[in-house]
Chains A and B, each alone.
Chain A
Amino acid sequence: MSPWLRRAVLLPVSLFFALPFALVALMAVMPPAALARFPGELAPFSPTLRHLRAVLGDPALSGYVWNSLLVSGATTLGNLAVSALGGYAFARFDFPFKRPAWGAVVATLAIPPIATVVPLFSLFASAGALDTRLALVLPGLASALGVVLMRQAFEAQGAGLEEAAAIDGASRPQAFLRVALPLAAPTIAALAALVFLTTWNAFLWPLVATHSEASRTLAVGLASYRSSFREVTDWGRVMAATLVALLPGLLALGAAQKAFVRGLGAGAEKG
């Protein structure tokens, strides 16, 4: 097929994929007068940052953004630690029941979030920890995908350098921290992006586990606008908040397009 024929298909299809993003970006910077006439009429306008400032000035919305940042950041750091330790153990040690243990780890990949949400709710309720940011962090700390990726990274780099470090007097934790972890940096970066985005975008568990503004995340805060579009009076602010919610994904995709896409693709294949 000729390149131009392919472009004739690819261009409109990619517009279909980019459309909601363009809409959000457009409405987030539209002055109120232009918003009032949209979508009936779309005339040139001078972009404004007032809606984005309003989001950051709105105590509820800025609180959601802050909660999302805290929860995603803490989950990412914790998950990296747990995944690196667990992946290292499966890559470097022999221990009893290693094969069935690995089977159990991999089997948890298949557990859908909707299957565990009710027991998690009662677990955190009985611990008196519902509606806290901690409740949003803890369940994301251990993930099979993270361990699978880290084990692969450690196995690929081999144990040779660590053995050399051992002969030079390094202890096991030193070999792990100073030799194995730095060599796994590319995988760690990909996993960090993956965990951060997954947590930032998470919906079901934050929806169930939180009910006050003090612990709600941005994704759940946005959902309160659902199916009440007729009552929305300030579309600019809603779209500006939506734009903030889309930002981490856009940044990740833009900053490291090739590496990121490949990393995620590999993750999805293995996951």
Chain B
Amino acid sequence: MSAPFRRADRGWAALFLLPLGLGLFLFNGLPLLQVAWNAFHRWDLLGPARAVGLANFGAVLADPRFHQALGQTVAFGALEVALEVGAGLWLAALLDAPLRERGVYRAAFFLPVTAGTAALAIAWGFLLDAQAGPLAHLFPAWPGLADPAWAFASVVVLSAWKHVGVAVLLFLAALSQLPEPVLEAAKLDGARGLGLWRWVTLPLLAPAVAVVALLGAINALTAFDWIYLLTQGGPEGRTMVLGYWIYQEAFEYFRVGRAAVATLLLAAAAFAVGALRRRTAEDAA
């Protein structure tokens, strides 16, 4: 008979933690450190790197394309958050009552979540194509993704379309956990329909709204796939966002230093959103 396990068994603990620590350090931590180093160097991905002090920061700040990308990332984020929260709440509210085929709708909203953007972009690229697509057949005036405003609207809507299924699920879960007595009391006081929603349900859903909004912000901040696949940042730079700008600087113009400066900004924003999420999670708990 052996002794029960000790929680302070450091040998086993170290062994169990080794693969995780190694993986996270090599492929997450170390790369971030290298981004910080890259930001102060001039490097083309192939040749030797050269220390250039703050030159990359100056170059990025002076680049009008970067300013455009930054502004459009903020606009992209605001619209994506509004769409995900708005559509998510609306659809969850419609689903939050008995309906025989409820599961079918919920699965439909979740379809795009399980699919890869590359595959979805083939389908949407065809649907929206100005020459071959069905939309162009129905509306001969449809300009396709060649029109800057329509292109921007399309990638925002598609990004929200892909993710809103998660928002619906989170809102449905939150709706199912609302305190019944509070709702009953409000109804007894005469609250009905939209008024009940505006003044009782919505405030109770605030933590879920915050989670969905922060998820939407991350989706917008890291948007890349749709833009690479459908618009390549154009037309006229109207769909250029931070994620695509970084990719282009590094892998098309080979200006790794400038890409790294923008990456630091992106990572800082992502960590801020992550910290906010943890705080809302703790508040909710």
Contact = CB atoms under 8 A, between A and B. Distances in A.
Nearest to B10: A95
Interface string A91-105: 011111000010011
Contacts of A252: 114
Interface in A140-195: 141-142, 144, 147, 159, 162-163, 166-169, 171-172, 175-176
Contacts of A59: none
Contact of A118 (B95, B110, B263, B270): B263
A114 B246 contact: yes
A264 interface: yes
Interface in B209-262: 211, 215, 218, 221-222, 224-225, 228-230, 232, 243, 246-247, 250-251, 256, 259-260
Nearest to A197: B114
Nearest to B221: A112
Given A39-B133, A39-B134, A201-B115, A86 B1 contact: no
A212 interface: no
A14 B274 contact: no
Given A222-B122, A229-B129, A253-B107, A119 B30 contact: yes
A258 B274 contact: no
Interface string B1-35: 11111011110111011011111101111111011
Given A94-B7, A265-B166, A112 B270 contact: yes
A159 B5 CA distance: 10
Given A21-B111, A118-B260, A245 B116 contact: yes
Residue with the highest number of chain A CB atoms closer than 10 Å, among B32, B119, B134, B274? B119
Contact of A85 (B20, B27, B105): B20
Interface in A24-40: 24, 27, 39-40
B27 A120 contact: yes
A268 B16 contact: no
Contacts of B228: 203, 207, 223, 226
A269 B2 CA distance: 41
Contacts of A55: none
A48 interface: no
Given A82-B20, A112-B221, A142-B24, A223 B118 contact: yes
Interface string A193-211: 0000100111110011000
B111 A18 contact: yes
Interface residues on B, range: 35 or more
Given A115-B267, A167-B4, A242-B123, A88 B225 contact: no
A43 interface: no
B237 to A, nearest CB: 16
A261 B111 CA distance: 10
Given A89-B16, A141-B23, A142-B23, A10 B95 contact: yes
B62 interface: no
B120 to A, nearest CB: 6
Interface stretch (B74-82, B96-104, B181-189, B198-206): B96-104
Nearest to A27: B126
A222 B38 contact: no
A104 B32 CA distance: 13
A264 B170 CA distance: 10
Contacts of A117: 247, 250
A86 to B, nearest CB: 3
Contacts of B124: 20
Contacts of B21: 86
A139 B173 CA distance: 32
A39 B142 CA distance: 15
A172 B230 CA distance: 52
Interface in B64-113: 91, 94-95, 97, 99, 103-113
Contacts of A118: 31, 35, 38, 45, 246, 250, 256, 259-260, 263
B109 to A, nearest CB: 6
Given A110-B218, A258-B103, A264-B166, 13 more contacts: A20-B112, A21-B115, A23-B127, A82-B20, A89-B16, A106-B278, A107-B271, A113-B222, A123-B30, A171-B2, A246-B115, A249-B116, A261-B106
Interface of A: 1, 3, 6-7, 9-10, 13-21, 23-24, 27, 39-40, 81-83, 85-86, 88-89, 92-96, 101, 104-123, 125, 138-139, 141-142, 144, 147, 159, 162-163, 166-169, 171-172, 175-176, 197, 200-204, 207-208, 218-220, 222-223, 225-227, 229-230, 235, 238-239, 242, 245-246, 248-250, 252-253, 257-258, 261, 264-265, 268-269
24 contacts: A10-B91, A13-B109, A17-B108, A17-B109, A18-B111, A23-B134, A88-B16, A104-B29, A110-B270, A111-B267, A112-B222, A113-B224, A114-B243, A115-B263, A116-B27, A116-B28, A119-B35, A169-B1, A175-B5, A227-B232, A242-B123, A248-B114, A253-B110, A269-B173
